[in-house]
A = this chain, B = another copy of it.
Amino acid sequence: MIAQLNLTADPADLTATLVDIPSVSREEGELAAAVEVALRALPHLEVTRSGNTVLARTALGRPSRVVLAGHLDTVPVNENLPVRRVGDELHGLGTVDMKGGDAVMLHIAATLTEPRHDLTFVFYDCEEIEAVHNGLRRVERDLPDWLSGDLAIVCEPSNAVVEAGCQGTMRVELRTAGTRAHTARAWLGVNAIHALEPALRTLTGYRAREVDIDGCRYREGLQAVRVGGGVSGNVVPDEAVLTVNFRFAPDRTVAAAETHLREVFDGYALTVTDHAAGALPGLTAPAAAELVAAAGGEPVGKLGWTDVARFAALGLPAVNFGPGDPTLAHTREEHVPIAQIHRCAEVLARFLT
């Protein structure tokens, strides 16, 4: 029994319907089926499917194309289902990240039969887990022409303002070596945990850079995210590991970020374990400038990493634009103001009409 979605209804009501179809990562099948059936009912769209990713597009021969993307999956349920309406807000898992954005996309797909730009819609799976499972990555490999266009709008929560580009992220491990000894004769050993002290001093004294790019402000950050070490309760430990996450503005490349960390943690054995490039805002591209104008100007820099960077790597200017406060994402208390859902739908309709 596939759930019926009313795509022409109020997008806030549609958000509530989507929230009540649970879709934790890897379990998006029911929601993907509902989205696919609803989109196939629209004669102006070509629809295809890849795993639990559903894709739809117009073919109106417009000179330019806008790609709208949103993931269908959520983080695990945390006592925050079913959806609840509280005053002018919707509360529940996915209201912010990102079924409000999905509802706006579905609403646009159903109601804008004659858009000014050709449109491609990508509803994808497995964004909230390891990057290797990300549905957008599979689409990039198997259906690359579905990602081509002149502007990508990732409808991740951005408080209904245009967030441009995104910061990069890099994780490094600082590994210290020592010499084991019994703690009763500690002078025979070298303590690898004690050897982390200069690194912690670097972290507590670090002045994070702030930078303006295309009128967007980016604020970097350098944070310890994990520390571990120890052999047993009476042994001077011979190894410790400190994991640090660096969030860097998109004017740094991945290579430049690594160089910076090697300077900052000079003297430590440093291994890069994970990284993702940032994305420059790209707001000088014509379609991006139109969207910013439709949204009333004043874009801001995106601090968290999103799939915007994936589109940027494909050569599309890309922005985030969706309802909800991104700082509430992944919290049990996530909730979205209904007015932001309406505003996103209106801004996109204005931009695309």
CB of A216, distance to nearest CB on chain B (Å): 14
A228 to B243, CA, bound (A): 11
Contact yes or no, B237 A232, CB < 8 A: no
Of B186, B201, B231, B236, the contact of A197 (CB 8 Å cutoff)? B201
Per the 8 Å Cβ criterion, residues 304-324 of A in contact with B are 304-305
Point out which of A182, A236, A303 has the most chain B C-beta atoms below 10 A from its C-beta: A182
Q: Choose the segment among A44-52, A58-66, A98-106, A187-195 that binds chain B (4+ C-beta atoms closer than 8 Å).
A: A187-195
A325-336 interface code vs B (CB 8 A; 1 in, 0 out):
001011000000
A237 to B223, CA, bound (A): 9
Of B208, B237, B327, the contact of A225 (CB 8 Å cutoff)? B237
Contact yes or no, A233 B183, CB < 8 A: no
Does A171 count as interface, using CB distance less than 8 angstroms?
Answer: yes
Per the 8 Å Cβ criterion, residues 227-283 of A in contact with B are 227-237, 240, 242-243, 245, 247, 274
Does A207 count as interface, using CB distance less than 8 angstroms?
Answer: no
Note all chain B residues with C-beta closer than 8 A to A167. Answer: 184
Contact yes or no, B185 A194, CB < 8 A: no
Does A115 count as interface, using CB distance less than 8 angstroms?
Answer: no
A240 to B229, CA, bound (A): 12
Does A196 count as interface, using CB distance less than 8 angstroms?
Answer: yes
Contact yes or no, A229 B227, CB < 8 A: yes
